[in-house]
Structure 1
Amino acid sequence: MKKGATIRDVAAAAGVSVATVSKYMNGAQRFSAPVEARLKEAIEQLGYRSNPLARSMITGQTGTIGLAILDIRNPHFTSIVKGANRVALQHDYTVLLVDTEESQEREKPLLESLAQRVDGLIVSSRMPDDSVQWLLDLGKPIVLFGRSTRFPIASVGTDSSRAGYMLASHLVQLGHRRVAYLGFARSRWNEERIRGIRSCLDAHGLPLEIRDAQGPSAAAGEHACSSLMLGPNRPDAVICYNDLMALGFIKEARELGFQLPQDVSVAGFDNVPYGEYASPALTSVDFQSEQMGELAMTRLIDELRGKPLVDDLYAQLEPRLVVRESTIKREAGNDAKPAASATE
């Protein structure tokens, strides 16, 4: 097997010291144009590739960023990864991905292991805010999805309370009076969404029925559907914790013999790509998932490069209501008319 070129070979070919080659390769120092031209020519001719492990031992930097998400099967998180990776590539970083699979038991050991291999961490977690201290103890720059009110951690997110209010207001304007929320109590954002929904309904003197699903998945939406739709106080509109849950709910409701959206309007959060192609197409709140990933990665890279935050630790994207066919106007006597598709 042919032995690869070493840093000493490059130094000899370029007529410089090993230290000069190292500084050039790591971008730690600029040299005169003739010297850099000789270095570039020698590296290309010899086919020299630096050893990332050796470089990290010298610089203390791996050129890698850890990204921990809750469930890669959820398109919301897939879009976050896509946005984050796009920014990382633009800045010559590699993303190391960990899927915690919605398991709080696995989350801590996975993140502790990941922290040893990366320069910084971007984390989506279900952990309560008072349990975040151990993340700081990992000794790495961190960006968190969702605001931490107790710890000085850079974070990004959206206003879930406002998003809930927007959906509830949309349904009230369509004439709905029996609204149910199918939530996921273990989520850090669940109470915020309930707060927004309840605020709107209280202002109109309307009740809110709250049910908790087993998980933030389509299967959980399916499982919860019958108890809501076959009970004595069937809602005329259901807001689900996320779009996956809403899509599962719609599937099961149709299998139970209900017509959608004539019998019940359904809406969710995240605006995942599937929602537009469902039948009926799903009304949702767009949390700008790709942009969230981009913003989180930008903030972390700025921190790694010593660039101070110019604003609050928490950066917030605005939720946007996307109206589709799964929510319809309900007149007196339960007559139903389709709502015009629009994006607000």
Structure 2
Amino acid sequence: MKKTSPTIRDVAAAAGVSVATVSKYMNGTQRFSAPVEAKLKAAIEQLGYRSNPLARSMITGETRTIGLAILDIRNPHFTNIVKGANRIALQHDYTLLLVDTEESQERERPLLEALAQRVDGMIVSSRMPEESVQWMLELHKPVVLFGRNQHFPIPSVGTDSYLAAYMLTRHLLNQGHRRFAYLGFEQSRWNSERIRGVQACLEEQGLTATVYDAAAPSPQAGERACSAIMLGPNRPEAVICYNDLIALGFIKEARALGFTLPQDVSVGGFDNVPYGEYAWPALTTVDLQSEKMGELAMLKLIDALAGKNDTEYSLLEPRLVVRESTMRRPGAPHFDGTPQERAAPPREGTTR
């Protein structure tokens, strides 16, 4: 005969308390005296009782689950976001339910609508235009976005992409570079901010960058774009890539084409992905604090679930990480000023 699992009533009887007391203790909604909690703990351990999350959610209307939608699980920037968000979720007794939209705008909405039915709230990274997310508010679930949305009052988190690009460009100027290319990804809402940061810094010296577009934010797209940039009539001295993955693919193909890096061209990216440090040459990048971004987004969502109405945009400061993929050009004149001595010009509406 199959042994039946202990119930909450069995725990109440063994501890000599009411079912309501057991429920409040298990859910952490009320503390009791030390002797009562000791009896509850002993009864639960002796009987091997485990609460039923489905039954609890039917009673409370809460799943204790947070939905996290990211654009590409293969991109270490997003896996770092997941790590940060999950760390905070576990601290607050929430489970993370992950959705990978695979860089597809067509799939985003149906996936998020399905996700909303299974979670208490959502954290979303999206390629959708800012003005197209009204429907998220109609899901009647708290939402936190990565990147500022100026059209709707949705709490959001990001890193200052304008400043990040400005810092990387200033570093390359300091090294004596004067011919620049920017290899971007125009489908990203943050691409224009990075272009703006690059061009603003160069304009101070009467320079400009030639802008190219990668087909995807991936190493393969960086490889495919490399030959047109490096074998064209205006070969750059420095290439700034939309992210580290594009930069790593670009470096691989540039070496295959016979270029020596960084002697022939300096290359930099954004995100500070973990294996950028172990590439050859090791990649100069801007750390956008991906894990911290995930942590902060989760804290904002937990606050929203607690009824705190905070729709502010929280901006993280980028950090330049200099490695071997960039170097000073031999015989280049010294540039007046350093990134520390000269501040970026005023900026508005910056996003990650």
Q: Give the TM bin, normalised by the shorter chain.
A: over 0.9
1:29 Cα shift? 2.8
One-letter identity of the residue aligned with 1:41: A
1:74 Cα shift? 0.7
* Matched residue, 1:148: 149
1:308 Cα shift? 5.1
1:20 Cα shift? 2.5
* Matched residue, 2:319: 320
Distance 1:209 1:74 in 2: 26
* Matched residue, 1:137: 138
Distance 1:302 1:157 in 2: 17
Displaced runs of 4 or more, over 6 A: none
Distance 2:17 2:206 in 1: 80
User: Which one is further off, 283-292 or 17-26?
Assistant: 17-26
1:43 aligns with 2:41: no
Distance 1:308 1:106, change over 3 A: closer
One-letter identity of the residue aligned with 1:19: A
1:268 aligns with 2:282: no
Gaps of 5+ in 2: 334-352
1:122 aligns with 2:123: yes
**Number of aligned residue pairs:** 332
CA RMSD of aligned residues (A): 1.5
* Matched residue, 1:215: 216
Distance 1:130 1:303 in 2: 22
Where 1:328 maps in the other structure, the secondary structure is coil
Where 1:105 maps in the other structure, the secondary structure is helix
Distance 2:137 2:308 in 1: 19
* Matched residue, 1:299: 300
Distance 1:36 1:276 in 2: 50
Gaps of 5+ in 1: 336-344
Distance 1:15 1:118 in 2: 35
* Matched residue, 2:104: 103
Distance 1:177 1:86 in 2: 43
Where 1:140 maps in the other structure, the secondary structure is coil
User: Which one is further off, 67-76 or 12-21?
Assistant: 12-21
* Matched residue, 2:81: 80
* Matched residue, 2:226: 225
* Matched residue, 2:174: 173
User: Which one is further off, 23-32 or 159-168?
Assistant: 23-32
Distance 1:25 1:291 in 2: 31
| Percentage identity across paired residues of the two chains | 76
Normalising to structure 1: TM-score of the pair? 0.93
Where 1:234 maps in the other structure, the secondary structure is coil
Distance 2:34 2:256 in 1: 71
Where 1:125 maps in the other structure, the secondary structure is coil
1:258 aligns with 2:256: no
Distance 2:162 2:65 in 1: 34
* Matched residue, 2:23: 22
* Matched residue, 2:196: 195
One-letter identity of the residue aligned with 1:55: R
1:317 Cα shift? 0.7
Distance 1:38 1:259 in 2: 71
1:24 Cα shift? 2.2
Distance 1:36 1:11 in 2: 12
Distance 1:176 1:39 in 2: 70
User: Which one is further off, 238-247 or 200-209?
Assistant: 200-209
1:68 aligns with 2:69: yes
One-letter identity of the residue aligned with 1:65: I
One-letter identity of the residue aligned with 2:190: W
1:54 aligns with 2:71: no
Q: After superposition, what is the alpha-carbon deviation per residue over 1:180-209, rounded to whole angstroms, capped at 9, x for unaligned?
A: 000000001000000000101111111210
Where 1:284 maps in the other structure, the secondary structure is strand
Distance 1:17 1:279 in 2: 65
Normalising to structure 2: TM-score of the pair? 0.91
Distance 1:136 1:308 in 2: 14
Distance 1:35 1:285 in 2: 54
Where 1:329 maps in the other structure, the secondary structure is coil
